[in-house]
């Protein structure tokens, strides 16, 4: 499709608009440090960001780099290079985006100029993968270190009990927590070896305290979206995940989330919504089409707002005892798994870690969300190349249908706009809006 149909997102909050100044400042700071050859880790979501900070590493999130390349519409260039190298178009396009990026970089010896960030992702001195949520997260780094950069790799490997195993059984708790703990210690040992630094537990504790403070504001902000009219939209939501990924454990990040919280709270008090007339309140499932976040604004033009999103949802289970900060990381991952479990994890993939905004799908939490967020419908993005996050959408649609909530499932991709069919998607959106309107008229 032509890029003219792609729309950059319009944000609604002052705070998220301000990120425009704040992030480049931060990235420049990171960039400058590269010249002193500070160790740079490429990391996968699932690696506790607090740990990276505690080791004073520079870091990049190739997944997030994928979202940025997608939003700048350069991802297809990289994806095509990877496809030419034998990577199937069915594979996660965040991965193929990175593989194409690496191939260009290694073949030419220079960071590709299409790269949206200054200097691209930089030359990694280590790769920190994770088996959290999906296979691509460790196969990806395995392949990078095989094909492009010969650097050490550590992939963490968290597992969670399936939905029909009782996580409260003390033997099961120990079974899983032992794995989480020993794996985390393995990760720390790896980082100590490759950075030449000893982990300072006191420092980690402080970082975690700040990180959790930021998370608490972020969580409380999300709760405020239960208000009618909804004070904050998806375009703000999806951009607001970034400070916690990069600036974790910094006062500036806490300030950002505090400010956002206060702004949203103020809007709730003044009953300021994000559209003139809020007609339909929706829940979003799946990864957003990063190349076309304007899609959310398009829905808003019909008076349809998203009050909640399934992905990157922070949850509220990170308030753990910080005395032993490593044990706190284990505990918060475990508590999250247990809470998810209580909500019904039949379609839940792997473990979700609150520190990195894991998603949830298809669970009893739905019933609560529908009530608390006053939802009229659901829109689900079935991303062809990320099955990990889309899986469970059909099941969720079935469950929502049972409680009388209609859903729209549309197919596309998170980073590859070639799978976006504007006309088709708009036709389906129109039909969906009509369904919602019909239900409103009929008093549901």
Residues near other proteins (CB under 8 A): 85-88, 90-92, 95, 129, 131, 134-136, 138-147, 150, 153, 155, 157, 159, 161-165, 172, 175, 178-179, 182-183, 186, 345-350, 382-384, 387-388, 390-395, 398, 411
Q: What is the nearest approach in angstroms of ligand SF4 to the Cβ of residue 317?
A: 20
63 binds, among other proteins, ligand SF4, none (CB under 5 to 8 A by kind): ligand SF4
Contact 330, 180 (CB under 8 A): yes
The number of beta carbons lying within 10 Å of the beta carbon of residue 182 is 12
Determine if 351 is a binding residue for ligand SF4 (CB under 6 A).
Answer: no
What is the C-alpha to C-alpha distance for residues 63 and 45, in angstroms, rounded to an integer? Answer: 8
Q: What is the nearest approach in angstroms of other proteins to the Cβ of residue 131?
A: 4
Q: State phi, psi for 155 to the nearest 5 degrees.
A: -110, 125
Instruction: Enumerate residues 57-96 that contact ligand SF4 by CB under 6 A.
Output: 63, 92, 94
389 binds, among other proteins, ligand SF4, none (CB under 5 to 8 A by kind): ligand SF4
Determine if 129 is a binding residue for ligand SF4 (CB under 6 A).
Answer: no
The torsion region of residue 156 among left (phi > 0), alpha (psi -120 to 50) and beta comes to beta
Contact 213, 204 (CB under 8 A): no
Is 127 or 389 the residue whose CB approaches ligand SF4 more closely? Answer: 389
394 binds, among other proteins, ligand SF4, none (CB under 5 to 8 A by kind): other proteins
Closest by CA position to 207, among listed 251, 256, 244, 249? 249
Is 152 or 294 the residue whose CB approaches other proteins more closely? Answer: 152
Is 245 or 275 the residue whose CB approaches ligand SF4 more closely? Answer: 245
SS3 assignment, position 132: coil
Contact 249, 25 (CB under 8 A): no
Using the contact rule CB under 6 A, the part of the chain among 18-26, 109-117, 130-138, 398-406 near ligand SF4 is 130-138
Is 119 or 186 the residue whose CB approaches other proteins more closely? Answer: 186
SS3 assignment, position 73: coil
What is the C-alpha to C-alpha distance for residues 374 and 226, in angstroms, rounded to an integer? Answer: 7
379 binds, among ligand SF4, other proteins, none (CB under 5 to 8 A by kind): none
345 binds, among other proteins, ligand SF4, none (CB under 5 to 8 A by kind): other proteins
Q: Which of 19, 68, 127, 134 binds ligand SF4 (CB under 6 A)?
A: 134
- Token digits of residue 28: 């420049």
Q: What is the nearest approach in angstroms of ligand SF4 to the Cβ of residue 353?
A: 13
Q: State phi, psi for 66 to the nearest 5 degrees.
A: -60, -40
Contact 21, 14 (CB under 8 A): no
Is 181 or 212 the residue whose CB approaches other proteins more closely? Answer: 181
Q: What is the nearest approach in angstroms of other proteins to the Cβ of residue 18?
A: 37
Q: What is the nearest approach in angstroms of ligand SF4 to the Cβ of residue 79?
A: 13
Closest by CA position to 280, among listed 412, 421, 407? 407
Contact 312, 284 (CB under 8 A): no
Sheet strands side by side (includes 280-285):
304-309, 280-285, 377-383, 407-412
Instruction: Enumerate residues 171-210 that contact ligand SF4 by CB under 6 A.
Output: none
- Token digits of residue 267: 């809007």
Determine if 381 is a binding residue for ligand SF4 (CB under 6 A).
Answer: no
The torsion region of residue 107 among left (phi > 0), alpha (psi -120 to 50) and beta comes to alpha
Structure-token match 């950059």, residue found: 8
Neighbouring-strand partners of residue 47: 45
94 binds, among ligand SF4, other proteins, none (CB under 5 to 8 A by kind): ligand SF4
Determine if 144 is a binding residue for ligand SF4 (CB under 6 A).
Answer: no
Q: What is the nearest approach in angstroms of other proteins to the Cβ of residue 113?
A: 25
What residues make contact with ligand SF4 under the rule CB under 6 A?
Answer: 63, 92, 94, 133-134, 136-137, 386, 388-389
């Amino acid at each position: 499709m032509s890029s003219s149909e792609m729309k950059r997102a319009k944000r609604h909050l002052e705070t998220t608009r301000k990120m425009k100044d704040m992030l480049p400042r931060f990235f420049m700071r990171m960039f400058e440090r590269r010249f002193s050859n500070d160790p740079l880790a490429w990391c996968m979501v699932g690696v506790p960001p607090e740990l990276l900070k505690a080791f004073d590493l520079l870091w990049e999130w190739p997944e997030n780099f994928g979202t940025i390349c997608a939003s700048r519409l350069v991802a297809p260039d990289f994806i095509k290079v990877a496809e030419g190298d034998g990577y199937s178009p069915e594979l996660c396009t965040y991965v193929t985006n990175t593989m194409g990026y690496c191939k260009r970089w290694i073949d030419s010896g220079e960071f590709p100029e299409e790269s949206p960030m200054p200097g691209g992702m930089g030359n990694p001195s280590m790769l920190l993968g994770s088996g959290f949520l999906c296979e691509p997260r460790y196969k990806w780094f395995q392949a990078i270190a095989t094909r492009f950069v010969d650097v050490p790799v550590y992939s963490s490997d968290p597992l969670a009990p399936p939905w029909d195993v009782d996580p409260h059984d003390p033997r099961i708790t120990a079974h899983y927590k032992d794995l989480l703990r020993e794996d985390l210690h393995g990760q720390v040992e790896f980082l100590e070896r490759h950075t030449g630094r000893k982990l300072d537990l006191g420092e980690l504790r402080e970082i975690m305290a700040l990180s959790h403070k930021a998370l608490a504001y972020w969580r409380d902000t999300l709760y405020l979206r239960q208000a009618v009219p909804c004070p904050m939209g998806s375009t703000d939501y999806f951009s607001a995940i970034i400070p916690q990924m990069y600036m974790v454990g910094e006062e500036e990040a806490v300030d950002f989330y505090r400010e956002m919280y206060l702004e949203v709270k103020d809007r709730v008090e003044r009953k300021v919504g994000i559209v003139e007339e809020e007609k339909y309140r929706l829940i979003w499932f799946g990864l957003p089409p990063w190349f076309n976040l304007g899609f959310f604004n398009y829905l808003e033009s019909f008076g349809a707002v998203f009050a909640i999103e399934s992905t990157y949802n922070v949850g509220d289970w990170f308030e753990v005892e910080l005395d032993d900060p490593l044990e706190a990381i284990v505990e918060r991952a475990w508590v999250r798994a247990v809470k998810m479990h209580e909500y019904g994890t039949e379609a839940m993939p792997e473990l979700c870690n609150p520190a990195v905004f894991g998603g949830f799908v298809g669970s009893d939490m739905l019933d609560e969300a529908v009530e608390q967020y006053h939802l009229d419908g659901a829109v689900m993005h079935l991303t062809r190349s990320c099955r990990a996050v889309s899986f469970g959408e059909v099941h969720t649609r079935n469950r929502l249908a049972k409680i009388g909530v209609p859903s729209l499932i549309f197919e596309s991709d998170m980073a590859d706009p070639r799978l976006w069919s504007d006309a088709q998607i708009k036709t389906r959106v129109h039909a969906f809006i009509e369904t919602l309107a019909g239900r409103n008229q009929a008093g549901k």
